[in-house]
Structure 1
Amino acid sequence: MKTLKRLFVIVIALTITSFAKAQNYNYKLDGPFAITKTLKVNGVCEMCKHRIENAIKNLPGMWFANWDVDSKTLLVKYDGLKIKPDKIQQLIADAGHDTEKFNATKNDYALLPDCCRYPRIS
């Protein structure tokens, strides 16, 4: 009888843990089309961070964007069916910041405030 009770308690505990883990899974954010990518983006300060993140935050399917000032890397999480990585990098370049694949135009770079002018590699 004690063995049956113990078995019953173990089954209930496993069932409860299974349901708890299932609720942490978000199909939209963790599903098969969710892409997490790290991109190199040139910038200098917190104003650059704000400009870079705002350049892409309203893209449909963009769930998360965070640019790190120290490492000059942008971490993005987005829906791979709605957004292509080239589109993300092009919008950032249009805001005046060079990326791995696209460089900002001279005009876009010139529009940056003086504190945001990072050294460019010619």
Structure 2
Amino acid sequence: MKTFKLLLAAIVLLATTSAAHAQSDKSQRTIGIKTQNIKVLGTCDMDKRRIENSAYKIDGIKSAVWDLNTQTLTIKYSVFKKDAPDNAQKTIASLGNDTEKYKADDTAYMNLPECCHYRKS
């Protein structure tokens, strides 16, 4: 009877551990995730917030971090959404920030707050 209780306790412990591991944070998973660095121009924390938020809203993008010093957006995206990096660049450019592939429309750029203007006249 004691052996049966120990075996039952081991099975319950194993099932609990497996279920907890299966529900781990998805942002920590790396299988099926690619990382890409994209050059995005900007000057301030308002740019950072705009760039990261707009990229993160794109279907397939799991994380987006823009570095002000290097002017680089690092995105992690699903390998099943191959167009996610391009869609992120289009969206960012449509909001007024130039990317390595797309230049922002002059109207969108001029609608940015004054502190976000990075182009030299």
TM-score using structure 1 length: 0.71
**What CA RMSD, in Å, does the superposition of the two structures yield over aligned residues?**
2.1
2:33 alignment partner in structure 1: 34
1:77 alignment partner in structure 2: 76
Consecutive unaligned residues in structure 1, runs of 5 or more: 1-22
Note closer, same or farther for the CA distance 1:71–1:51 as it changes in structure 2 (3 Å cut): same
* Structure 1 runs of 4+ with >6 Å offset: none
1:87-98 correspondence runs (5 A): 87-98=87-98
**CA deviation string 1:38-96 (max 9, x = no partner):** 11000000000001011121222211100001110001001121251211110110111
**CA deviation string 1:1-53 (max 9, x = no partner):** xxxxxxxxxxxxxxxxxxxxxx69x7x8311x311001100000000000101
Aligned equivalents of 2:50, 2:120: Cα separation in 1: 18
Aligned equivalents of 1:93, 1:39: Cα separation in 2: 12
Aligned equivalents of 1:39, 1:120: Cα separation in 2: 21
2:58 alignment partner in structure 1: 59
Consecutive unaligned residues in structure 2, runs of 5 or more: 1-20
TM-score using structure 2 length: 0.71
1:108 alignment partner in structure 2: 108
Identity rate, percent:
39
